[in-house]
Structure 1
Amino acid sequence: MKVIAHRGNSAHYPENTPAGWDSAFAHRAHAIEADIRFSADGVGICAHDPALQRLFKRDERTAELSYAELASLAGAQGETISLYTDVLAYVRKGQSVVLDLKEESPAALEGVWQAIDQRVPHDRRPLIVVGCHSLAAVEYFAARGGVTILGLIPTPDVAAEVFQAGATTIRLWERDVTSLLVEQLQALGAQVWVTTGGEPTGRRVGDTDQQSLAALHRAGVEGVLVNDVPLVNTLLEALQ
């Protein structure tokens, strides 16, 4: 089972930061995940929330501030907002990254693609897993080719359509996983990844435990997005 570091090794480091991403790879993550947004002046940044309140105690939204203003902010552990291009640097080193596209306007999709096109050699682009929430985003990246497309679907009923549009991997929420559904998606030709936790599990998104991970393993899930990479690797080793 592939271990994807949800917002980096975020159980141990501030989310969406190089420290967390580096730690994830040091603990044998298959890939790191980062959330992609844009500043008011069009600079690609890594931020999960549309607002700055949770991490930086500010009332503004990320899209309302310039990159210079965003870069001046510091979180509780001194963390600052990372650049989208910081994530692409891992790809140039041969490491895989998952881009969770939090903005999917035409301008945002073009901004994501232009950075890839300008900075990542063609032979490295399959290491980029573009996480798309909308069918339009899947179709956009499928038309450009080269990258791997992950369908971040809200519910299983849209999985087949998203796969047919070009997403070779389908992300399910843990609440939706059944062995039959996983088997059906794999029969289409899709890989199946799962974001652990979230409602109604009683765990934070990205958190897991031995029992839940074992159930996903039995269901045939091929990848998990998790907060604690070393813990999950230890739990997976116990399942072998």
Structure 2
Amino acid sequence: MPRDSTSGYLSPAVPRVFAHRGLAVDAPENTMLAFARAIAAGATYIETDVHASADGVAIIAHDPDLSRVAGRSGRVDQLTAAELGRIDLGHGQFFCTLAQALTSFPDTRFNIDVKSASAVAPTISSITNAGAVHRVLVTSFDERRRSAVARGLPGVASSASASRLLPALVAAKLRIAPLVTWSLRGLVAVQVPEKAAGMRITRPSVIAAFHAAGVEVHVWTINDPARMRSLLELGVDGIVTDRADLALAVVAELN
């Protein structure tokens, strides 16, 4: 079984539903409204992303630029936090800071993907100042970013970067248990698509290998209730989804 996290992040019972960028059915993604909608639906975990503003503030945003979410040119790191806080994202929402999200939703656990090197220090600062180390999981595609944030937040929960996941996945497929455990040392989860590097991750043998190494398996981004149900029945520990409302209903049915 997965190890207990000293941070307390994994203290509730599985399965876990991670609201991917909040619940953005009737709200812009990664906004305070999307987070509030997810929490109102029953979500206790929010998956989100951070970049850094021009003045070194951790900003909730998935993309480095403004084109998709705001319909305008420019980059997050070219504007100050105050300027980003005035950009209309629709439904009366604006870019928010990580600090605002953590302090506004003090009972919610956050899964934070650090998207840029410049976001490392402000992410550490925001989490520390909010006293939120025990209720965040930090991760990044890039191992240098992930490990830098983890070093700055002793005891924080963290999931595998790409360079930590790949050898673990190969070892799991080849049934080399010691290498799986070594590759995932110090982590509490792998957060993965159903397939990666030409391999299906959501095979019972792979899930079992990750569990034997002491980590949970969270799969993204799953929006179909039937597939959610199948994955949970296979033994995955968490579903990352744009439809937390539907996933929570599936979990309730299975329980």
Please say whether Structure 1 and Structure 2 have the same fold, judged by a TM-score greater than 0.5. Answer: yes
Q: Which runs of 4+ in 1 moved over 4 A?
A: none
CA distance in 2, matches of 1:69, 1:29: 30
Query: Superposition pairs for residues 197-216 of structure 1, below 5 Å?
Result: 197=222, 208-216=223-231
Q: Tell me the distance in 2 between the aligned counterparts of 1:154 and 1:95.
A: 29
How far is the alpha carbon of 1:225 from its aligned partner? 0.9
Would you say 1:6 and 2:20 are equivalent positions? yes
- The 3 A distance-change label for structure 1 pair 154 and 94 is same
Match of 1:109 among 106, 120, 136: 120
2:228 pairs with 1:219: no
| Alpha-carbon offset, residue 40 of structure 1 | 1.3
Within 2, Cα distance between the matches of 1:180 and 1:129? 26
Partner of 2:212: 187
CA RMSD of aligned residues (A): 2.1
1:87 CA displacement: 2.1
Q: Deviations over 1:205-231 (max 9, x none)?
A: xxx213211221122100111111111
| Pairing of 1:44-55 with structure 2 (within 5 A) | 44-55=58-69
Query: CA–CA distance in 2 between the matches of 1:5 and 1:152?
Result: 20
Unaligned runs of 5+ in 2: 1-14, 169-179, 196-200
Q: Normalising by the residue count of structure 1, what TM-score does the alignment of the two structures yield?
A: 0.84
In 1, are the aligned partners of 2:85 and 2:95 still within 8 Å (CA)?
yes
Where relative contact order (Cα < 8 A, 6+ residues apart) is larger, the structure is 2
State the partner residue of 1:60. Answer: 74
Distance 1:78 1:143 in 2: 37
Take 1:12 and 1:179, find their aligned partners in 2: how far apart are those partners? 36
Report the residue type matching 2:156 in the other structure: V
SS at match of 1:151: coil
1:23-46 CA-to-partner distances (Å, cap 9, x unmatched) read: 212222131122111111212111
- The farther-off stretch of 218-227 and 10-19 is 10-19
> Which AA in structure 2 matches 1:146?
G
TM-score when normalising by structure 2: 0.79
1:100 aligns with 2:120: no
Instruction: Give the residue type in structure 2 aligned to 1:100.
Output: D
Q: CA deviation at 1:77?
A: 2.7
Instruction: Show CA shifts across 1:160-210 (max 9, x none).
Output: 46521x22111011233211111111100001111124xxxxxxxxxx213
Q: 1:184 to 1:196 in 2, by over 3 A?
A: same
Correspondent of 1:174 among 194, 200, 220: 194
The match for 1:205 is none
1:193 partner SS: strand
Distance 1:129 1:210 in 2: 25
Partner of 1:163: 184
**Local SS of the residue matching 1:89:** helix
Checking the alignment, whether the CA contact within 8 Å between 1:46 and 1:82 is kept in structure 2 is yes
Does 1:74 find its partner at 2:88?
A: yes
Structure 1 unmatched runs, 5+: 198-207
Per-residue CA deviation, residues 102-157 of structure 1 (Å, 9 max, x unaligned), is 11x2x43222112222331xxx5221111222222343344341221122548952
Question: 8 Å contact 1:7–1:15 — kept in the other structure?
Answer: yes
Aligned length: 223
Identity %: 26
Asked if the contact 1:10–1:227 (Cα under 8 Å) also holds between the matched residues in 2, the reply is yes
